[in-house]
Amino acid sequence: MDQVIKQQSEAEHWSAEQILDWTRRQFGARGTLASSFGAEDVVLIDLASRIGSPFPIFTLDTSFLFPETYALISQIERKYAVQVERLSAELTADGQAQQFGEALWQRQPDQCCKIRKIEPLKQRLQSAAAWITGIRREQSPTRAQARKIEWDTSFGLVKINPLADWSNAQVWAYIRSNQIPYNPLHDLSYPSIGCTHCTRPVQAGEEARAGRWSGFSKTECGLHLDAAAIAKGGE
């Protein structure tokens, strides 16, 4: 905690590469890169590869990801010679339906996210000292105050957000100039891609995360909310 407070202000002036290099030096393989394989996440994987980072990469495989997402994971593994750790919920999709009823995401999306995302993440982060995410401040109001280095009170470790101050235009300029594989759904008005049941294309004028959990007052699954918000159900 003290280390985070000491570096937090200075880190705001660092580039994404400098943030990742600091994380590598401080935490080594105990710094882990969380990836949903959105545009920001493939940028982070490419940046990490350029500094020769030891960061293990994991993704939350909810069993409900788009086919395009699964295909991209395999493509990234081949390109960067990495193996992505796929985290799954203790309950299978069928087991969840038997215990909670069919289509839980339509009735209680917070409960579904807790089972399929938050609980597996909690288990994984118990063995980590820091986790690296692709969140950016301009993505949504809930992310507007994100710092490049911060203490994650929900999971009890350092949270690293190297792209916090990047714009959407910067993300895509980097992807295109470096020819990084990305999810083709981004070209079909899906700026934020999650599970098939809870993601739709956004309309002109909508925020980037408006297509997530459409019809609910919910734009976050709970991974990037503080402990108080998670206790209330991730709203």
Bridging pattern class, strands 157-160 and 149-152: antiparallel
Percent of the chain predicted with pLDDT > 90: 78
Which residue in 2, 12, 79 sits closest to 45, CA to CA?
79
Instruction: Please tell me the number of Cα atoms within 13 Å of 24 on its side-chain side.
Output: 15
DSSP assignment, residue 114?
Answer: I
Q: Averaged over 65-92, what is the pLDDT?
A: 97
List of long-range contacts for 188-196, beta carbons under 8 Å, 24+ apart: 191/39, 192/38, 192/139, 193/36, 193/37, 193/38, 193/66, 193/69, 194/36, 194/65, 194/221, 195/62, 195/64, 195/65, 195/105, 195/116, 196/64, 196/65, 196/66
Give the mean pLDDT of the chain. Answer: 90
232 backbone dihedrals φ, ψ, rounded to 5° = -85, 0
Confidence (pLDDT) at 222 = 54
- The kind and range of the H/E element at 41 are helix 39-50
Confidence (pLDDT) at 230 = 36
Judged against a pLDDT cut of 60, whether residue 59 lies above it is answered with yes
How far from the centroid of its chain's Cα atoms is residue 61's Cα?
12
Q: How many residues does the chain have?
A: 235
**Mind listing the pLDDT tens digit for each residue in 116-149?**
999 999 999 999 999 999 999 998 788 888 999 9
Q: Active-site residues: which are they?
A: 221
Confidence of residue 234 (pLDDT cuts 50, 70, 90): very low
Please tell me the pTM assigned to this model.
0.88
**Mind listing the pLDDT tens digit for each residue in 94-106?**
999 999 999 999 9
> Contact 104/93 with Cβ under 8 angstroms?
no
Judged against a pLDDT cut of 90, whether residue 54 lies above it is answered with no
Confidence (pLDDT) at 169 = 97
Domains and CATH numbers, the chain: 2-226 (3.40.50.620)
